[in-house]
Amino acid sequence: MWMMSVMTTVVCGVAALVLLTAGNRAGTDYPQLFGRILQFSAFVSAVVSLVLLGAVLKVRSEPPPAAVTWFAVVVALLTIGAAFLH
């Protein structure tokens, strides 16, 4: 469940980035609105992934690989930072 929330954060974050930087090419506000909804979804899943990371590190007898853990932390912190900047 922890890795699923990390991957959800990545997918929603990338899709939000694409939609929010694409501008208003369609002539409507729907791409921007959908981008903001995806950005919020990425924010929520980033917070969930950080909470679940704490549970994974406490419950598992063998911790996940360091590279995977650092990737998850960096993705979550970048997503949370981007939500506050935009």
Least Cα distance to 53 among 34, 38, 35, 70 occurs for 70
Structure tokens at 71: 């990737």
Q: CA 12, CA 76: separation in Å to the nearest integer? A: 12
What one-letter code names the amino acid at 10?
V
pLDDT tens for residues 38-85? 999 999 999 999 999 999 999 999 999 999 999 999 999 999 999 888
Pure H helices in the chain: 2-22, 30-59, 66-85
Give residue 32's pLDDT: 85
CB atoms within 10 A of CB 79: 22
Q: With bands split at pLDDT 50, 70 and 90, how would you rate the model's confidence at 8? A: very high
Average pLDDT over residues 21-42: 83
Structure tokens at 76: 């979550």
pTM of the model: 0.89
Give residue 24's pLDDT: 67
